[in-house]
Structure formats: structure tokens, C-alpha cells
Amino acid sequence: MLKDYARPDDGLDKESRKAETKRLQKLLTAQQVTIREAKLPVVVLVEGWAASGKGRLINLLISEIDPRFSGVFCGEARTVDAHRYPFLYPYFCALPEDGKFLFMDAGWMEAAVRERCTKEIGEDMFRRRIESVNRFERQLRDNGYLVLKFFVNISKDEQRSRQDELKSDSDTSWRVSEYDEYQNDHYTRFRDAYDEFMEETGGIFPWHVLDGTKFGKLSYDAYRLLTETVEAGVAAGRYHGKAFDEYFPMHETPRLEDVDLSVRMDRDEYDKELKELQDRISELHNRIYRKRIPVVVCYEGWDAAGKGGNIRRLAYPLDPRGFDTFPIASPEPHELARHYLWRFWRRIPRTGHVAIFDRTWSGRVMVERIEGFCTEDDWKRAYNEINEFESELHDWGAVILKFWIHIDQETQLQRFNDRQNEPSKQWKITEEDWRNREKWPLYEEAVSEMLEKTSTEFAPWHIIESNDKLYARIKTLRIVVDAFERAIKERDD
Amino acid sequence: MLKDYARPDDGLDKESRKAETKRLQKLLTAQQVTIREAKLPVVVLVEGWAASGKGRLINLLISEIDPRFSGVFCGEARTVDAHRYPFLYPYFCALPEDGKFLFMDAGWMEAAVRERCTKEIGEDMFRRRIESVNRFERQLRDNGYLVLKFFVNISKDEQRSRQDELKSDSDTSWRVSEYDEYQNDHYTRFRDAYDEFMEETGGIFPWHVLDGTKFGKLSYDAYRLLTETVEAGVAAGRYHGKAFDEYFPMHETPRLEDVDLSVRMDRDEYDKELKELQDRISELHNRIYRKRIPVVVCYEGWDAAGKGGNIRRLAYPLDPRGFDTFPIASPEPHELARHYLWRFWRRIPRTGHVAIFDRTWSGRVMVERIEGFCTEDDWKRAYNEINEFESELHDWGAVILKFWIHIDQETQLQRFNDRQNEPSKQWKITEEDWRNREKWPLYEEAVSEMLEKTSTEFAPWHIIESNDKLYARIKTLRIVVDAFERAIKERDD
């Protein structure tokens, strides 16, 4: 606890500490090769008081690491647009690739404590931030990340005198922000918030409080802990978390075999209602935009189920300034080398924007499961990770719409044959589609499990009967209109 | 000219135009496959008056294209941070991959005219924007992009009445910005600026003025031009521009064979001066940051020349909140599928920040030339493209520092052997390094040509003698200090 913090004494004199630091520095240089070979991603979070020397410490730590193997994230520098994104967004987006170091100059702790102590958020929201952080850190651990967390501590007087010194020189005075001074003025409030945060978030990766009074000691301690942690992490090998069932309120989604695929809509009715719904969506999109409600629309479905046409009908009435469509293909190397949700986090819309995903993160429990692109632990754990991800989006205020575009095997066969026989459609059909078709029973099992395990109250799956594409499009747009209207009404109340 | 614009009559009645539009829509759907097969990237720039229906037009154009093959860029939506980056930055960053469409809802024309007509910039700067745009468009053409440019025209009265209608409804009134009204109030000024811009930028890709009064006619015309352009583009095949010599003021850089590599520095002198220089860089970095001067530092050099250690000495005194190091490896698939400068444009620092590149865009005229990763036209053209790129950065106010870290063949051999024999350094040496070594004469020729052709007055190459790494580091840091001091002084004057 910072409250009862006593400065530790390691019994080393200055000279031997210096020599020891040099040795550890060399060790770290060697470890960069080890972690690269072990494909271990390492996150070093350096939190602490303003003016405690976090930046200087990070610069020293990276000074002997090749820039090819390390990156630096600055909590402060990346906040231009931060309030338009979910709390965890910048941290997820910053995750390093396998085999690399990421050093963070303040991160999720500072962001939460700052909001709390400047009273932007209340105690309830602070608790929710803590919960988010615990889930985030567990996901990191389970997906093989090594996370080392420092808090650099200095006393109120020490902080004040450092701030005074910085302010006395016109070249450095800008470094002391209003917030930094506020922190010093309310030192006790911040200390208690840091304490509370550390106490509640030490379960996955422990906190290490370092004494920032003397830089020599600070850097020696940091080197020691870092090299020890890397050594232990490499020895233990990359961790794969087991499946873990957290409680989420679930939504009852029909079973695939109970879905009635015979539903139809005639062309005249379709044309009329399509126009009405699109006009309505266009109006509502204006309000969504103005009220800064973020919207995430997910499309999954069988090959040839009609996702593309369905998406186009939804996109047409949207203002292009306010939406993006993300077609999701196989991950590229830099995406594969990170937490599988990374590439989706990076595509989260800003508040007021709509993101349409043509295939989604649920690929983890479908194609990746069936094709063996991840381990059994990985995909079994993913149901919970997906629910956590969507719950973050929901808590942030997002409307989440998930559509499973459904057809039966005969309809798929007919559409495949149509594509094969119609020159203008042949690009739509590949050998892989035929191979996937043979795995229909495997996919059916995976899809059923996905529908069952990731249909939460805040992000339920909607099964869209699409043997008749017209019916499917209208049903989808109706659900969109309904969700938009409810979200707008909630904000009005 | 908009000034003398007469609405064209195509002699079609409403019904046949509608039928024709439907046919062209189908044709475009087929063309998406054609351009994908031809690996042709297509940029459709839709400029025009506020409220002229640009967004609606784009939505119609994309409505029958698969989202996997098209993207939308909104000039307006991406401007949060725009003033912190060079003028062309957002457009370069938005470039589509080979085989895909990008639709732009306002782009470089609107940005320049807006700045000009709101008097943010004067006539001189406006001319420079035009010059930048012409270079940009030529680079796009030479690198195989197809660009189609529309201007959607409406009269002053038409614009006013549309704005009034939007403003009359609380759901749409936010769509009429202050700027939009300003545009209507100063319609003639804007019209003249659009005219001037179009007149000066029609040389590479022509402008097409479309009548926006009736949406039916507008969309028909757009479909017609788009499908014709794609057809012609596919028939002509991907274009590879020839080398082109633009005049840039050149800096005399010594020839490699004249460099005296025997220069040395002793350890004591080095330690002392290193500390002084680093302290000075730390101070200057504060001012660079406050004065919002962007800095781009480029490192190139022989394998084992000591780039990494040199970079670390420079990075150490920099505030991590204000710099990034970018190690440049082989391009990933999504990078290869775009203009080769794309991945570097994306890494341009914000004003006040320092970007250090460990290898750079000059790879085009070295490794890509020697290994045949691009055509001869490509690398021969690249000297000029590189100068243009750096000239954009310079005009924007960037300090550009380019270091060639130089050693001789014997020193390289010795360092390779050291690496091979020292277990902690073996990761630094690969088979490829030995293979590259055999190509020394080829590289020497390429490097010499690069030094000769891309050493401009605004971005000269500095040859850093690095047989003695200590000497090399000090020489580099001195150049950095000198450049920082000059840039700060210029801003003070």
C-alpha cells in the first residue's frame, strides 16, 4: 500500500548497484532474443505519480533493446480522440506482436484513477473500470502475454519540488500540466485511489511499487524485476488459458433445427417495405450520429446465404460520413501475431458511427475451431472472451446487432450451382466453398454452440431466415430500425 | 468552367435513363471482378458543392459493389487531427489496395479550396497545394492507379434552397454547417477557386463536372463515366510510369570512394561528448515539441554498420511521449498491394514529434532494385518520387535528417565474424546477410546513385563514417543538435 509505503533498502552501495545494473542491462539485451525465439509478447506497464520519472525510466529500459523488438506507448500522447472510444480501446490497440516488448508510459491505471479523482466518473463507474481491467489482464494472460506492472512512487513533497524545478525553466515548464499540479494538491485522494486500484487489480499480474526518489535505485529495481520476470516467463513457456465460465445474462436464441426456413415475401411487398425501412434508417442514422451512439453490426452466415446483398441494403440509406463496412478475411501476419480480438478492437467505431462487420470475431469459434487454426483451449475460452468484449462495447453504450444469415443445405447447393453456371457470378464460388460445404455438420455443431454461448441479453444473435433473400433483408432492416429507435429513446429519457 | 456551365442535355427521357442506369449498375457489379483480376486500384474522387448530393451519389455507386472490394473515405470525417499532418497525408493514407475501389466524399480539392476561400492560406500556398496535387496524381498514375474525378455542380439558388430544407427539420439541421452556409454566401468566390483548381489539375486525370440538379441524371452520368473509365483502364492494362526528372536543388554529397573511414574517437572523449550532446538533445526536444516542429530521421547503411547502436544513442535523450522508432522490414501483403510510399506516409509524425526510421523508403532504390522486387521503371522513377515525398515533408516544415552509416568491406567481415562467434550476438547474423555481402559491388553502385540523386538541399544525405562506432555516433548526434538548433532558430526569427 502506498499509504504505508516504506522505502526499501537493498543493502547495496551506489557503486555495486551501478555495476549490477550494467550486468542486468546486458542480460536484457540477451533476453530480447530469447523472447523473440519464444514468441512471447511482453507488456511493461509503468504507472506512477506525475514527475516520478516514468519516461526517463522507460528510456533507459529501451536503450539497450533493438527498436525492432520494442515499442513505447504513451497514455498521455494518445488521447486526442480517446473519449470517443471504449475505455480499453487504446490498450487493446497498442498490444505488441509476439516476441516483442511494449513499454507503456502510463496506461489503464492512470486513465481510471484520473477520471475518478477529477470526478469525471463516480465510484460505480470506477468499479466497472476495475472489472474491465481484470478481464483485460486475464485475457492477456490467457492469450500468452507476459505483463509486468510497476508503480513509481514519490512523496508529496518530492513531487512538489520536482514540479517547481520544472516550472522554473521556460523550456520545461510546459511539462507540468494543470492536471499534474492538481494531482499534487490532492495527493492523498490520488494515493487512496491508486491504492484501491492496485488492491483490486493484483490478481492476475501483481503490482510492483518502486521507489522513485533516486533514479539509480529505481532503474536497478526495474531492471531486476524485468529480467527476472522475463526469465521466469520464458522458462514457464507460453501460457494458454483454459476455458472459463463467467456469468452473463443470456438470451434464448432458437435452435437452428427449429428455424422455419419456408418463410417468404413477395416482390411488391418487399419493394414497398424496403423503401419505407431505408427511409426510416436514413432518418434514424442522423439521430444516432447526433446523439453519438456507437453501433456495431455483425454479419455471419453460411456461404451463399446472402450476407453481401443484405449488407448492401442496410448500408444504402446510411450516410457515408458515418459508417464503415469491414470485410473480414484471413488475418495477415501482423494480426496473427497478436491477441485475436486485436484486429477487431482496432475497427471499433467512434461514438456516433456505425461499423458493419462482414464476418466477425466469432470466426474464432467457427472456422478457426474447425480448421484447427487455434488450440482447443483457445476456442473454448473464446466464448467467454467474446462475451466480455461485447459487454465492454455494451457498457460503453454501443448498440450491438448480430445476425446469423441462415439457409439450408439444398438452398446452398442451388446457389452454388447458379454461381458456377453464371459467368458473372463465378468469382463468388471457389474450391474452398465446396470443401466447406462438405463440413456442414461440423459447422452446424459449431454454429449451434456459438448461438447458445454468445447470445447474451446485451448482444443476442438474431437468426435471419434467408432461403428467401427478400424476406431476410426485410427482417434484418426491421431489427435495425427497432434497435435504433430503442437506443435513441433510451437517450431521450 | 463552372462559370460558363450549361446543363448538358443527353436527349434521354426519364424512363430510358432509368433503364440505362440499371444496366450500367449491373455492368459495374461485373467490373468489380474485372478490376480485381487486373489488380487495378480505382479511386473515385467526388468533389462538389455542399448539399450537392455527393454522399447520396457515393452510396448509390457502392450499393451494388461488394464491400470486400470497395471503401469510402470522407474528407470531412477524418479531420480531427488533420492540421498536425502534411496536406497530402490523409489522401495517401486512404489509398486502396490493388483491385479495389475507393470512393472519396470530398478530398484534396475541397481541402485546398476551403483553406483558400476561408483565407486560412494565401494565393502562394494555394499554388503550392496545386503543385502537390499534381505530383500526387502523377505518382498515382505512374504507380498504376486509375483515378476518376467528379465535380458535382449546383447553382447558388439550388444550394440555398437545399440548405433551407435541411435546416427546417431538427433531425437534419446539423448537416448544414457554418462552413456550408459560408460557402453559399460566398458562392462566386468558391466558384472561381474551384475553377482555378480544376483548370490547374486536369493534366494527369481530367475533371468531369456533373450536373447535380436532378439526382437521376447525376447518377446516370456518374455510372456512365465510371464504367467507361474502368473499361478503358482495364483494356489499357496497368500503367507503369517512366522515370521522370523534375528539378530539385541538389546538395553535393561526397562520393563513397572518397570517404575517409580511418577517422576515430577515443573512449574518454566519446563519453564526455556523448553526455553533453544527449543533454543538449533532451533540452532541444522540449522546444521542438513546444514549437510543433516535426522531425523525420532516416537511417540507412550496410549490414553491421552500427545503425542500431547509433539509433539508441539518439533515442535515449528523447522524451518517449514525443518520438517513435519504426523498424522497417519487408512489406506485408496489405502494404505490397499499395503505392510503395503508403506505409511510410502512414508513419509520418505529427507536428512536434520525432519519427526515427530504421531503414526507409530508399529501400526502393537499393534492395528492391537489386533483388528485382520492382520493375526497372519503378526504381528509376523512385528517385524523383522520393524527392517529391521529402519535399512535401519539408514544405510542411519538417526537419529531415538522412544518415548513411558507412563502413568498408573488411570491417563488415570482422563484425559478421564477431557476431557468428559470440553466442549473444548470433541472432544478429543470418544467411541473408552473407548473401547480401556477396552483392557488395551491386549495392555500392545503387547506394552511390541514391546518394547522388536523392541528396537534395532540403533533405541531404549525411555520410557517417562508422568503422569506429564511437566516432559515428558523435558525428550523428552533432548533426542532429545542429539541425534542431537551426530549426528552432528559424521559428524564433
Average pLDDT over residues A253-264: 95
Instruction: Say how far apart CA A122 and CA A118 lie, in whole Å.
Output: 10
Q: Which residues of A touch B68 (CB under 8 A)?
A: 327, 329, 358
- Beta-carbon separation of B319 and A67 below 8 A: no
> Using 50, 70 and 90 to split pLDDT, how confident is the model at A256?
very high
Q: pLDDT at residue A79 above 70?
A: no
Say if B256 falls within a structural domain: no
Amino acid identity, residue B137? E
Among A67, A77, A324, whose Cβ lies nearest the Cβ of B327?
A: A67
Say if B328 falls within a structural domain: yes
Among A55, A81, A290, whose Cβ lies nearest the Cβ of B321?
A: A55
Instruction: Say how far apart CA B101 and CA B42 lie, in whole Å.
Output: 5
Per-residue three-class SS string for A340-403: CCHHHHCCCCCCCCEEEEECCHHHHHCHHHHCCCCCHHHHHHHHHHHHHHHHHHHHHCCEEEEE
Does B346 reach chain A within 8 Å, measured CB to CB? Answer: no
Does A82 reach chain B within 8 Å, measured CB to CB? Answer: no
- Beta-carbon separation of A74 and B321 below 8 A: yes
Kindly write down the DSSP assignment for every residue of B442-478, as one continuous string.
HHHHHHHHHHHHS-BSSS-EEEEE-SSHHHHHHHHHH
**A48: distance to nearest CA of chain B, Å?**
15
> Using 50, 70 and 90 to split pLDDT, how confident is the model at B433?
very high
Among A60, A66, A329, whose Cβ lies nearest the Cβ of B308?
A: A66
Does A77 reach chain B within 8 Å, measured CB to CB? Answer: yes
- Beta-carbon separation of A424 and B58 below 8 A: no
- For an interface test with B, give the residue of A23, A25, A59 to mutate (most B CBs within 10 A): A59
What residues contact A95, with CB distance under 8 A and at least 6 apart?
A: A41, A43, A102, A140, A145, A338, A339, A342
Instruction: Say how far apart CA B488 and CA B287 lie, in whole Å.
Output: 7
Report the 10 Å Cβ neighbour count for B461. 22
> Using 50, 70 and 90 to split pLDDT, how confident is the model at A119?
very high
> Using 50, 70 and 90 to split pLDDT, how confident is the model at B277?
very high
**B358: distance to nearest CA of chain A, Å?**
8
Coil, strand or helix: which one is B53? coil
Q: Judge if B209 and B275 occupy the same domain.
A: no
- What phi-psi label fits residue A357: left (phi over 0), alpha (psi between -120 and 50 degrees) or beta? beta
Q: Judge if A158 and A260 occupy the same domain.
A: no
Least confident interval from A6-20, A432-446, B129-143, B266-280: A6-20
- Give pLDDT, residue B401: 98
Contact pairs from chain A to chain B, CB under 8 Å: 125
CB neighbour class for B220 (10 Å; exposed up to 12, middle 13-18, buried from 19): buried
Q: pLDDT at residue B77 above 70?
A: no
With b for 16 or more beta-carbon neighbours within 10 A and e for fewer, the A287-325 pattern comes to: bbbbeebbbbbbbbbbbbbbbbbbbbbbbbbbbbbbbbb
Q: pLDDT at residue B78 above 60?
A: no
| pTM reported for the whole predicted model | 0.88
- For an interface test with A, give the residue of B173, B321, B332 to mutate (most A CBs within 10 A): B321
Does A299 reach chain B within 8 Å, measured CB to CB? Answer: no
Q: pLDDT at residue A31 above 80?
A: yes
- Give pLDDT, residue A77: 59
Does B322 reach chain A within 8 Å, measured CB to CB? Answer: yes
A413-434 pLDDT per residue, tens = 999 999 999 887 888 888 999 9
CB neighbour class for A145 (10 Å; exposed up to 12, middle 13-18, buried from 19): buried
| Cβ pair B344, B361 in contact under 8 A | yes
- Give pLDDT, residue A78: 52
Q: Judge if B128 and B186 occupy the same domain.
A: yes
- Give pLDDT, residue B49: 98
Q: Which three cell numbers stand for residue B367?
A: 534492395
A202-249 pLDDT per residue, tens = 999 999 999 999 999 999 999 999 999 999 999 999 999 999 888 999
Residue range of the domain that includes A209 = 14-236
Instruction: Say how far apart CA A61 and CA A98 lie, in whole Å.
Output: 19
Q: Judge if A277 and A200 occupy the same domain.
A: no
CB neighbour class for A416 (10 Å; exposed up to 12, middle 13-18, buried from 19): middle
Does B30 reach chain A within 8 Å, measured CB to CB? Answer: yes
HSE of A398 in the Cβ direction (CA atoms, 13 Å)?
28
**A156: distance to nearest CA of chain B, Å?**
24
Q: Judge if B170 and B285 occupy the same domain.
A: no
Does B337 reach chain A within 8 Å, measured CB to CB? Answer: no
Strands of the sheet containing A207-211, edge to edge, are: A70-74, A101-105, A42-48, A146-153, A207-211
| Cβ pair A210, A115 in contact under 8 A | no
In A242-377, DSSP assigns E strands to 295-301, 323-327, 354-358
Q: Judge if A262 and A198 occupy the same domain.
A: no
Coil, strand or helix: which one is A213? coil
Among A63, A286, A327, whose Cβ lies nearest the Cβ of B67?
A: A327
Cα–Cα–Cα angle for A425, A426, A428, nearest 5°?
75
Does B7 reach chain A within 8 Å, measured CB to CB? Answer: no
Q: Which residues of B touch A107 (CB under 8 A)?
A: none
What residues contact B398, with CB distance under 8 A and at least 6 apart?
A: B86, B293, B294, B295, B296
Q: Judge if A360 and A476 occupy the same domain.
A: yes
How many domains does chain B contain in total? 2
Say if A241 falls within a structural domain: no
Among B287, B308, B322, whose Cβ lies nearest the Cβ of A171?
A: B287
Say if B241 falls within a structural domain: no
Q: Judge if B474 and B409 occupy the same domain.
A: yes
| Cβ pair A142, A132 in contact under 8 A | no
- What phi-psi label fits residue A204: left (phi over 0), alpha (psi between -120 and 50 degrees) or beta? alpha
Instruction: Say how far apart CA A467 and CA A402 lie, in whole Å.
Output: 18
Amino acid identity, residue A281? I
Q: pLDDT at residue B76 above 80?
A: no
What residues contact A242, with CB distance under 8 A and at least 6 apart?
A: A142, A377, A380, A381
Instruction: Say how far apart CA B286 and CA B294 lie, in whole Å.
Output: 12
What percent of chain B has pLDDT above 90?
Answer: 87
Q: Judge if A276 and A160 occupy the same domain.
A: no
HSE of A249 in the Cβ direction (CA atoms, 13 Å)?
5
Does B441 reach chain A within 8 Å, measured CB to CB? Answer: no
- Beta-carbon separation of B312 and A67 below 8 A: yes
| Cβ pair A99, A183 in contact under 8 A | no
- For an interface test with B, give the residue of A215, A310, A427 to mutate (most B CBs within 10 A): A427
Instruction: Say how far apart CA A179 and CA A170 lie, in whole Å.
Output: 18
Does A168 reach chain B within 8 Å, measured CB to CB? Answer: no
Strands of the sheet containing B323-327, edge to edge, are: B323-327, B354-358, B295-301, B399-406, B461-465
Average pLDDT over residues B462-474: 98
Instruction: Say how far apart CA B314 and CA B335 lie, in whole Å.
Output: 28
Among A36, A320, A324, whose Cβ lies nearest the Cβ of B55?
A: A320
The CATH number linked to B284 is: 3.40.50.300
Say if B249 falls within a structural domain: no
Q: Judge if B457 and B374 occupy the same domain.
A: yes
- Beta-carbon separation of B316 and A427 below 8 A: no
> Using 50, 70 and 90 to split pLDDT, how confident is the model at B317?
very high
Average pLDDT over residues A54-58: 93
Instruction: Say how far apart CA A350 and CA A337 lie, in whole Å.
Output: 25
Say if A7 falls within a structural domain: no
Closest C-alpha among B169, B256, B274 to residue B449:
B256
Q: Which residues of A touch B76 (CB under 8 A)?
A: 321
What percent of chain A has pLDDT above 70?
Answer: 99
- Give pLDDT, residue B57: 95
| Cβ pair A77, A18 in contact under 8 A | no
Among B203, B236, B269, which residue terminates a domain? B236
Q: Judge if A225 and A274 occupy the same domain.
A: no
- Give pLDDT, residue B493: 73
- Beta-carbon separation of A72 and B356 below 8 A: no
A366-387 pLDDT per residue, tens = 999 999 999 999 999 999 999 9
Q: Which residues of A touch B312 (CB under 8 A)?
A: 62-64, 67
Q: pLDDT at residue B282 above 80?
A: yes
Say if B248 falls within a structural domain: no
Q: Which residues of A touch B97 (CB under 8 A)?
A: none
- Residue of chain B whose alpha carbon sits nearest to that of A319: B55
Say if A243 falls within a structural domain: no
Instruction: Say how far apart CA B469 and CA A48 lie, in whole Å.
Output: 36
Q: Judge if A333 and A475 occupy the same domain.
A: yes
Instruction: Say how far apart CA B421 and CA A388 lie, in whole Å.
Output: 49
Among B77, B290, B320, whose Cβ lies nearest the Cβ of A174?
A: B290
Among A62, A80, A311, whose Cβ lies nearest the Cβ of B81?
A: A80
Among B55, B286, B322, whose Cβ lies nearest the Cβ of A319?
A: B55
B5-59 pLDDT per residue, tens = 888 888 889 999 999 999 999 999 999 999 999 999 999 999 999 999 999 999 9
